[in-house]
Amino acid sequence: MGTSWHHIIPYPLLRDVWNRLVDQHIASEIPAARHAIRGYLLLCDRTMPKLDALIDRMRADNTDKARAGHNKLEPLDVGECNRLAQAVVWPAWNIVEGPSARSDPPNDFDIDRFRVGLTPGEAVRIREVELLVRPFQLFANGGTVEGLNAITQLTARARPYLAGALPIPYRTEMWIKDPTTGLSRKRGYEESITQ
């Protein structure tokens, strides 16, 4: 059986939140935009080297006109952009290892809820991840200053539970295989009682 990584919060939502954060940070002088993007990055990868410099350099093309020649910001290179993109759409706290061949994959915009076979710490993590979904959806669909402030507050609140977490590893208690199709799906609560 092959395994793969599964998002809890769907990739398209994480991508849309990141794109809106970057857009607001680059296109505005609103301090809340910098605070929100920094908080989100700290939640996704608290060990990212030179985080503040990377955030500054995102705006290199917009701020160079106002800077003196000796203080010119260098734009991000391709490797730095890729590292940021990977961190924000594949944060370890949002990943569960499971069978590649599934009969129950969520669609692109639905959360992948896991309830059975989790350790107590993983259950807390799942709860914290799920608390991010609705505010992320609201922000992705129309980021405002209030939305930026909400992202900053949410990520700060979630950081003790999520930052530094590793992906949830594959465990047979979490999955059940359909003998007819050979496909796996998440084990339901009822099945965990009777098995």
pLDDT along the chain (195 residues), means of 10: 93 96 91 95 92 90 52 86 94 96 91 95 96 94 88 95 94 93 86 52
Burial of 153 (0-12, 13-18, 19+ CB in 10 A): middle
**Rounded to whole angstroms, how far apart are CA atoms 86 and 78?**
12
Please report, for the chain, the start and end positions of each structural domain, with discontinuous segments joined by +: 3-194
pTM of structure: 0.88
**Which amino acid is it at 129?**
V
188: closest CA among 113, 121, 86, 138?
Answer: 113
Q: What is the pLDDT of residue 61?
A: 66
Q: Which residues partner with 6 through β-bridges?
A: 96
Q: Which residues partner with 7 through β-bridges?
A: 95
Q: What is the pLDDT of residue 165?
A: 93
